[in-house]
Amino acid sequence: MTSCGTENSAPLTTTERHIKKLTVAGLLAAAGVLLSGVYIPFGPTKCFPFQHTINAFSGILLGPWWAASIAFVTSFIRNMMGTGSLFAFPGSIPGALMVGFTYRLFKKDWAALAEPLGTGPIGATLSALVIGPAIEKTPALGGLQMAFLASSIPGALLGYGLVVLTKRMGLFKNFYL
């Protein structure tokens, strides 16, 4: 059995790499669920940045499809627990995809800061067009974008910081795309 990706270990097989990614994805989804109730007071609103932090981190660490899967699983579990809303699905998945594809294209850590581009304009628009009619409410697109960005921007900044920190510490060095 190989060790956890240290210098002296043999290269991981494809199966071992997938198991490691699946394990990290499960831990990040669990962290997303656990941190979903934590907020930061931000003026008259509450900022819930941690799903976006996980989107930014996982998009760079694991790639776009894993990050989108983590966002979906986290949103699904939160909805089943009664602590989330349907807006979580179109609000979080595009942000995760945006980070993953941006990192894949440029290979730069600042790709974490692309999360608000997916969450704000794309996620809020999808929410207004798809979820709004499904719940028989028509949210104002501008208000929805502002609400999404109030959590997404701080979350992306935290995610960027987490990426920089884990890279400096040498954690996950065999994971990054």
- pLDDT value of position 93: 97
How confident is the model at residue 7, as a pLDDT? 55
Q: What is the pLDDT of residues 69-125, one digit of tens each?
A: 999 999 999 999 988 888 889 989 999 999 999 999 999 999 999 999 999 999 999
Q: Within its chain, how far is the Cα of 88 from the centroid?
A: 11
Comparing C-alpha atoms, which of 176, 159, 83, 80 is closest to residue 118?
159
pLDDT of residue 177: 57
Distance in angstroms (rounded) separating the CA atoms of residues 166 and 144: 32
pLDDT in tens, 4-52: 555 556 788 989 889 999 999 999 999 999 999 898 876 666 679 999 9
Compute CA 157 distance to the chain's CA centroid, rounded to the nearest angstrom.
12
Distance (Å, rounded) from C-alpha 174 to C-alpha 177?
A: 8
Q: What is the pTM of this model?
A: 0.88
Domain boundaries along the sequence of the chain: 14-43+62-169
The length of the chain in residues reads 177
Say which residues have a Cβ less than 8 Å from residue 72's Cβ, sequence separation at least 6. 89, 92, 93
φ, ψ of residue 87 in degrees (nearest 5):
-65, -15
Supply 68's token pair.
Answer: 């989108």
Identify the architecture of domain 14-43+62-169 in CATH. Orthogonal Bundle (1.10)
pLDDT the model gives residue 3: 46
